[in-house]
A and B are shown apart, each in its own frame.
Chain A
Amino acid sequence: MRRLFSTRIGTRNPIMLCERCNSRLSAYVDGTLTSAELRQVNAHLASCRRCREDVQEIQAIRRVLRSMPEHEAPAAFWDDTLRMIRSRARRKPAPFAYARIAGTAVAALALAIILFVNSADRQVIDVAPAHERLLTINPLSLVSLHARERGRSPLVDIAKVRIAGSEAEAGDLADDGRFDVK
């Protein structure tokens, strides 16, 4: 079995390995670690660039999730669901139907528990279904976003990106900038 702690030669301070640290980063970002765990994770982060980058990724994901608006299910969804349940309830149960329903219910419950337990880390961006309406997208907004992202890349010709990006951003602002980062 892989050791999760090693000992620095000549000292008695346990050094946390990435594997162990990584499993605690989510709690670290949430601020729910005990003080002892916090000390260990902080000590590890001080010397491990990769885990520090992991922390940044988790923080970025958290920010994205916090910025997501909550969507109400459309009224038709509930009406359709109720209609479907009623129509099925009216049907005569087939042999073993009750067992099958019970089995399905248990499976659904188990799935719900799994989803709930994993929701903290696995919350995913619920992308809205394709919009019915036609969206108006200004290409200047796209260029502006591209330039902002390119400007972060190393070795990029920043002068060119800055010139085009500023021009696109000015045009985008004039158009009221309906395209933006979340």
Chain B
Amino acid sequence: MLSRAAFATLVVTGVASIAFACPCACALAQPGDSHAAETPLAVLRRVLTSEERVRFAARQTVILSDRGRADATVTDEVNFGFARGRVTWLLPENNRGRVSVRDGRRRWAIEPSSRTVVESEVVHRPITAARAEAIARQVARSYVLTIAKEPSSVAGRPALILTLAPRRPDRQRRMWWVDRQTGLVLKREVYSPGGGLEQSTSYSNLRMNIPVDVTLLKPAVPRGYRVVRRPADNVVTRIESARRLIPAFGDIPASLGAGFEFESARLVDADGARSLQLQYSDGLAGLSLFKIPARTRLPQSAGRTRTVAVGSASGTIMESVAPYRVLTWEIAGATFNLVSDVSEGTMIAIARSVHF
């Protein structure tokens, strides 16, 4: 039998060994291994909180595939976090020289094709831990999150592959390559409900933790450019506030069904008519619902349109700017518009359920 003193010595030695071994094991492991046991939801939370905080410079290549056509866009990006950064377009040729600058309070879009600079105020809403948690849970309600077991890397950086598979068959499936160290999404792939690759976005020439260079956040307006100033987007993000503020638009729905929950509301001026823009999201996919208190028509430049049935009303679908569609229909002298990149069937189903 062990004496009481020997037993105590053994316990102390054991505890000391564990205390010593744990940090050693952690130190010996690869940097990314500290996140090896992370749940998919924890990775998503990390993506959310790191999204606006990581400072980096990189080249981004986006390939969008739409109806048998693929377009590539290449940009040089500098991100200083907290809605501060600069994006310069290199490709396609017709967009070369387009620049977008955000300094945390304002955004400038320099558009060479129209020789215009659009200056708009930006209201930045930071991601707090509580907000990250709420968004992550909303995503988890609409998507099944899994982490691939195989190790991966992008641009020489170790990455986790997070798959976000939709719970509804009409949504896109997403794969994100998440930087193990920072939580930044280094590469994204988006697959259509039919399984085809619709979009690929990836960074190259990555430089992390770059110092903030304020000279990059001061855009120079080129000589001869027209400057269009836009006021701050007065966005209301609580449904109670939206209902109280704009009751004349009817009882704003908290949900449009199919997992789309209220995200924000704001008033817009539609050719002189005060109109309502509501934003709904399932956490990843989003749509805007516009209510215009008037009958509307399309300009001749609207392009190709198709007529679809929205309940008993007749609607028009426009493939305006890929991948977005616009669905327009009228009810009792008011015009409703849905804008989204979700499937046409989902848009029509949502449109049928809109009654306010």
CA distance A116 to B132 in the complex (A): 40
> Which of chain B's residues have a CB closer than 8 A to the CB of A174?
114
Q: A127 and B114: CB pair below 8 A?
A: no
**Chain A residues with CB below 8 A from B244, complex form:** 122, 124
B contacts with A, residue count (CB < 8 A): 96
Contact partners of B228 in chain A: CB under 8 A:
173, 177
Do A124 and B201 have beta carbons less than 8 Å apart? no
CA distance A26 to B113 in the complex (A): 45
Partner of A139, one of B130, B302, B340: B302
B113 and A130 contact, CB distance less than 8 A = no
Do the beta carbons of A139 and B318 come within 8 Å of each other? yes
CB B321 to nearest CB in A, in angstroms, measures 5
Inter-chain contact B324/A182, CB cutoff 8 Å: no
Contact B100 A166 (CB under 8 A): yes
B207 CB-CB contact with A under 8 Å? no
| Residues of the A chain whose Cβ atoms lie less than 8 Å from the Cβ of B95 | 166
Our pick among B114, B245, B339 for the contact of A146 (Cβ within 8 Å) is B339
Interchain CB contact under 8 A, A175 and B299: yes
For B269, what are the chain A residues with a Cβ–Cβ distance below 8 Å?
Answer: 179-182
Least Cβ–Cβ distance between B285 and chain A, in angstroms: 9
- Binary per-residue interface labels of chain B (305-349) against chain A in the complex, 1 for a CB within 8 Å, 0 otherwise: 000000000000010111110101000011101011100000000
A60 touches B236 (CB 8 A): yes
Contact residue among B123, B268, B318, B335 (Cβ-Cβ distance under 8 Å from A179): B268
1/0 per residue, CB under 8 A from A, across B237-279: the answer is 1100100111111000000000000011011111111100101
A130 & B334 in contact (Cβ 8 Å cutoff): yes
Which of B139, B237, B293 makes the CB contact (< 8 A) with A129? B293
Query: Could you say which of B75, B281, B301, B321 has the most chain A C-beta atoms within 10 Å of its C-beta?
Result: B321
Distance between A54 CB and nearest chain B CB, rounded to angstroms:
9
Determine if A137 and B48 form an interchain contact, defined as CB atoms under 8 angstroms apart.
no
Contacts of A160-180 to chain B: CB distance below 8 A: 160, 162-164, 166-171, 173-175, 177-180
On whether the beta carbons of A153 and B263 are closer than 8 Å, the reply is yes
Report chain A residues within 8 Å CB of B266.
64, 149, 181-182
A175 cross-chain contacts in B, Cβ below 8 A: 299, 301
Who on chain B is nearest to A57 by CB?
A: B241
Which residue of the partner chain, among B123, B286, B333, contacts A130 with CB atoms under 8 Å?
Answer: B333
List, in ascending order, chain B residues with CB within 8 A of A182's CB: 231, 234, 266-269, 274
- Among A60, A146, A157, A180, the one with the most B-chain Cβ atoms within 10 Å of its Cβ is A146
A83 at the interface (CB under 8 A from B): no
In B147-162, the 8 Å CB interface with A consists of none
Q: Are A143 and B283 in contact (CB under 8 A)?
A: no
A156-B340 Cα distance, complex, nearest whole Å: 13
Are B288 and A159 touching (Cβ within 8 A)?
Answer: no
Shortest Cβ gap from B85 to chain A (Å) = 10
- In angstroms, how far is the closest chain A Cβ from the Cβ of B155? 16
Question: A149 — which chain B residues lie within 8 A by C-beta?
Answer: 233, 235, 264, 266, 277, 279, 286, 288
Q: Closest Cβ of chain B: how far from A51's Cβ, in Å?
A: 13
Given A138-B299, A143-B339, A149-B264: A160 and B199 within 8 A (CB)? yes
Q: A140 touching B272 by the CB < 8 A rule?
A: no
Q: What residues on A are CB-neighbors of B339 within 8 Å?
A: 142-143, 145-146
Other 20 A-B pairs with CB < 8 A, given A146-B324, A150-B288: A49-B128, A57-B236, A122-B244, A127-B248, A134-B297, A136-B297, A137-B271, A137-B297, A138-B301, A138-B302, A146-B277, A148-B120, A166-B95, A175-B301, A179-B268, A179-B270, A180-B230, A182-B234, A182-B268, A182-B269
12 A-B pairs whose Cβ atoms sit less than 8 Å apart in the complex:
A128-B293, A135-B273, A136-B297, A137-B292, A137-B335, A146-B279, A147-B324, A149-B266, A159-B73, A166-B95, A166-B111, A181-B269
- Top 8 nearest A-B pairs (CB, nearest first) are A127-B248, A131-B294, A146-B339, A146-B288, A139-B326, A64-B234, A139-B320, A178-B271
